[in-house]
Amino acid sequence: MTDQELIIFALKDAGRIIAEHLEAGRTRDPEETVTRLIRALDRPEISRAIERLERGLHVVK
C-alpha cells in the first residue's frame, strides 16, 4: 500500500466513525468515538507515511 493510500484509508475510516457518531436515531458515547478516532488515526505507520510525504513535498514548517 502506498503512503497516499494508507492516509486515504485512515481518513475514510475516521469519516465513517464520525458519520456513525452523527447518525440520526443513534446514541453514541463521545468518549468511545474519540477512542475509535485515535485508534484509526494515531498509528505509527500513518505518522511515518505523512513524514515521508512531507519530505517529498519539501514542506516548510
Q: How many domains does the chain have?
A: 1
Range of the domain at 41: 3-57
Q: How confident is the model at residue 59 (pLDDT cuts 50, 70, 90)?
A: low
Q: What is the pTM of this model?
A: 0.81
Position 25 scores a pLDDT of: 80
Tell me how far apart the alpha carbons of residues 48 and 28 are, in angstroms, rounded to a whole number.
Answer: 31
Per the structure block, which three cell numbers stand in for 54? 512531507
Cell of 18: 464520525
Q: Enter the C-alpha cell of residue 1.
A: 500500500
Confidence of residue 21 (pLDDT cuts 50, 70, 90): very high
- Is the pLDDT confidence value at 47 over 70? yes
CB 44 within 8 A of CB 51: no
